[in-house]
């Protein structure tokens, strides 16, 4: 098993950079612990910390400790200051083995491309410097400066739990990939969630998919599966003991335009694979996650039923991603609650209350919000209360009047809202997912229509 040393910079009597009461040592430690936890949860790896609490430690104590181990990699985590913004990484500017530079390159590039999809972060580049922890460590070593503590825009990100989790996760994933850490999968006797990136009736198509996935550095292979007498060539691209990790992989594959779905095994009730163009299975979809549908796909769908519906796609997409909530499914929830924004129930249109917040019984009108945008934000915040135990990101004011009434983290799946968001209710989550499923199908039909038009233009120009 490989060993990684994580070194949170500064500590104890040395705060590192400070700004407006924030201390670098605290941010370094917080990020380092998140990187450690993520790696330990997802990969087979030994993690050693130079410090895991707020204590003073000299640079030579750190590197002396590192050099007594047989560690494969040394990662020092810092935050920058002194005018600037963004992320940079450092290796020693003297002689280093080429593997050190290739680790820097992979970790840096993977981190930047992942973080930029969700947050505004400047890439300050891959740098070399004569830093003690890089020079004196005998294993490959990398020092990262996450963001600038004395830049107000960077500092806003550093106060946002979603960013902090993403920063640690993408760093951890870069490290895991560059060191080829084996994924943890398969608890003995437990369930295994396999990520299938395509299921084909022809083996050749499956082989092509494997090649495409390998080009994107996925460890993919074919697992033939006979269902109802028919052979399907499934392409597996990951297997996880934890469903959430499998869902993260599915989302990642979708961002790279691969269709993917999860097959749970070891449970005794195997579900057959959907054909490769079908929408993902709707059972047990998490509330946390990234929107699959884009704003215009949400808007176009709702207008097929109600041509004068307000266009809220942008807000659901934006605030969903801001809080790490499935904005596209939240939009389906709003559609379900308001009957395609025809407001045939208790809530009236000018309340901008799209999810029935506070409508606890007959004669109780529920909450009102100043604008449609604020109504969506409050809706997303209420979902965040149910789906997460994390502190509410501070980028926006708390508008949800019922946030503190929610038992935090009590519903991680849409079906988990049954009997909670809607009382009584045993099918509330399923109804939301049905609307979402119709939206998915509508988006797919639109794309196929678009594809035909494009193809006809191509044919015309031949
Ligand atoms: Zn520092």
Beta bridge partners of 413: 286
> How close is the Cα of 72 to the center of ligand 1, in Å?
23
Amino acid 185: pLDDT: 60
Length of the chain: 462
> How close is the Cα of 147 to the center of ligand 1, in Å?
11
462: helix, strand or coil: coil
Cα–Cα distance for residue pair 346/186, rounded to 1 Å:
48
Largest CA distance in the chain: 75
| pLDDT, mean of each 10-residue run, the chain (462 residues) | 96 92 94 93 91 93 94 97 96 95 97 94 97 96 97 93 93 96 64 84 87 87 75 87 85 85 60 41 77 95 89 97 96 93 87 89 82 97 95 91 91 89 78 91 90 88 83
* Candidates 145, 173, 247, 322; catalytic one: 145
Q: Cβ(43)–Cβ(181) under 8 Å?
A: yes
Q: At what angle do helices 372-387 and 313-323 cross, to 10 degrees?
A: 30
CA-to-CA dists, residue 427 to 197, 279, 287, angstroms? 30, 20, 16
Cα–Cα distance for residue pair 241/243, rounded to 1 Å:
7
Cα–Cα distance for residue pair 159/149, rounded to 1 Å:
10
> How close is the Cα of 59 to the center of ligand 1, in Å?
11
> How close is the Cα of 404 to the center of ligand 1, in Å?
37
Amino acid 299: pLDDT: 95
Task: Give the predicted TM-score (pTM) of the model.
Answer: 0.46
> How close is the Cα of 121 to the center of ligand 1, in Å?
19
Q: Cβ(224)–Cβ(232) under 8 Å?
A: yes
> How close is the Cα of 71 to the center of ligand 1, in Å?
22
> How close is the Cα of 10 to the center of ligand 1, in Å?
6
> How close is the Cα of 98 to the center of ligand 1, in Å?
25
> How close is the Cα of 35 to the center of ligand 1, in Å?
17
Q: Cβ(84)–Cβ(151) under 8 Å?
A: yes
Is residue 145 part of the annotated active site? The answer reads yes
Amino acid 305: pLDDT: 82
Q: How many CA atoms lie within 13 A of 97 on its CB side?
A: 10
Q: Cβ(333)–Cβ(378) under 8 Å?
A: no
Structural domains of the chain in order of their starting residue, each with its CATH number? 3-178 (3.40.630.40), 192-265 (3.30.70.1070), 295-442 (1.10.530.10)
Residues 6+ apart with CB under 8 A from 165: 34, 324, 390
> How close is the Cα of 145 to the center of ligand 1, in Å?
8
The 8 Å CB, 24+ separation contacts for 50-57 are: 50/5, 50/6, 50/7, 50/8, 51/7, 51/8, 51/11, 52/8, 53/11, 53/29, 54/11, 54/12, 54/25, 54/26, 54/29, 55/11, 55/12, 56/11, 56/12, 56/13, 56/14, 57/11, 57/12
Neighbours of ion ligand 1 (CB under 5 A): 9, 16, 78
CA-to-CA dists, residue 455 to 248, 259, 278, angstroms? 33, 21, 22
């Amino acid at each position: 098993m490989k060993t990684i040393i994580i070194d949170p910079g500064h500590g104890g009597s040395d705060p590192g950079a400070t700004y407006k009461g924030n201390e670098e040592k605290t941010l370094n430690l917080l990020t380092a612990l998140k990187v450690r936890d993520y790696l330990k949860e997802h990969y087979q790896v030994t993690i050693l910390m130079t410090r895991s609490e707020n204590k003073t430690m000299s640079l030579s104590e750190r590197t002396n400790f590192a050099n007594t181990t047989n560690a494969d990699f040394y990662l020092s985590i810092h935050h920058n200051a002194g005018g600037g913004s963004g992320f940079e990484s450092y290796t020693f500017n003297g002689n280093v083995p080429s593997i050190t530079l290739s680790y820097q390159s992979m970790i840096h590039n993977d981190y930047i491309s992942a973080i930029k999809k969700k947050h505004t972060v400047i890439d300050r580049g891959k740098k070399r410097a004569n830093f003690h922890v890089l020079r004196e460590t005998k294993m490959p070593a990398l020092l990262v400066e996450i963001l600038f503590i004395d830049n107000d825009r960077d500092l806003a990100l550093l106060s946002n739990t979603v960013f902090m989790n993403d920063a640690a996760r993408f760093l951890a994933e870069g490290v895991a990939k560059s060191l080829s850490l084996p994924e943890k999968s398969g608890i003995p006797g437990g369930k295994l969630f396999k990520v299938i990136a395509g299921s084909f009736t022809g083996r050749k198509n499956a082989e092509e998919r494997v090649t495409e996935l390998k080009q994107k550095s996925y460890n993919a292979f074919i697992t033939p599966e006979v269902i109802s007498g028919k052979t399907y060539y499934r392409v597996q691209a990951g297997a996880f003991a934890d469903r959430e990790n499998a869902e993260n992989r599915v989302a990642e594959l979708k961002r790279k335009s691969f269709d993917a779905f999860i097959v749970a095994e070891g449970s005794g009730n195997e579900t057959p694979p959907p054909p490769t163009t079908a929408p993902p299975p709707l059972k047990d979809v998490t509330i946390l996650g990234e929107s699959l549908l884009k704003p215009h796909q949400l808007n176009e769908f709702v207008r097929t039923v109600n041509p004068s519906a307000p266009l809220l796609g942008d807000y659901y997409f934006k605030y969903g991603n801001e809080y790490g909530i499935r904005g596209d499914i939240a939009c389906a929830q709003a559609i379900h609650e308001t009957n395609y924004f025809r407001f045939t129930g208790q809530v009236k249109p000018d309340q901008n209350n799209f999810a029935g917040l506070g409508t606890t019984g007959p004669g109780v009108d529920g909450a009102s919000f100043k604008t449609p945008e604020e109504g969506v934000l409050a809706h997303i915040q209420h979902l965040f209360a149910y789906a997460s135990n994390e502190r509410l990101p501070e980028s926006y004011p708390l508008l949800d009047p019922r946030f503190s009434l929610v038992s935090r983290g009590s519903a991680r799946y849409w079906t988990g809202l049954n009997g909670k968001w809607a009382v009584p209710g045993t099918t509330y989550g399923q109804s939301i997912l049905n609307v979402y499923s119709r939206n998915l199908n509508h988006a797919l039909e639109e794309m196929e229509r678009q594809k035909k038009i494009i193809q006809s233009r191509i044919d015309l120009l031949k």
